[in-house]
Amino acid sequence: MHERTVLKRSIEKSKEKSAFKENIKGITITGLFMALTLVFTAFVNVKLPFGYGGLIHLGNIPLFLVAMLYGKRTGFFAGAFGMAMFDILSSWTIYAPCTFLTCGLMGFTTGLIVEKRKGFGWKLVAVLAALAIKLTGYYIFEAIFYHNLLEPFASFPGNILQVVLAAIPTLLLVVPLEHILKKSGLLPENS
């Protein structure tokens, strides 16, 4: 009887250690991709001369990749905090709440779609859903903030270009990255 209790406790401690390691790995990956999203937004961008002067940046690449590889929760945090932090640290501070919500929802939705459905086509659907969220979120914010229902449409070309420029490398890289990360143990085999 005593041996069975000792064995049971040993198994429980092993499970606890494994869960702790997975939590640490998840926190590390989330933090890394929040930082990558911030860096790709801050340092790889071009300011647009039309609309409200938005940016074409590559911050959506790490956002889409992490959402597709690690899921909706990590995608939310990378988008919400990574991109809103850029707004706070730059001259776009007024946009930070909108960016937090919109880009967080973009990451969450991308991850949710890819978690539920496998295949390249669903990854494309996830990016298109993220684009719809981006267009809607920023349109609503700008319509309210600028008291104008038509002017926010001027931001659409830049937002569309931004997502398309991120979608191309993301869709080219995500499948090979899945294989590499699974082999290295950084991505569960069943994902």
Q: pLDDT digits over 109-120, tens only?
A: 999 999 989 899
The pLDDT value recorded for residue 14 is 64
Which residues have CB under 8 Å from 138's CB, separation 6+? Answer: 98, 102, 152, 155, 159
> What would you report as the CA-atom Rg of the chain, rounded to the nearest whole angstrom?
20
pTM of the predicted structure, to 2 decimals: 0.88
Say what the pLDDT of residue 48 is.
Answer: 76
Q: Classify the C-alpha dihedral 22-23-24-27 as positive or negative.
A: positive
55 in helix, strand or coil?
strand
d(CA 42, CA 115): 29
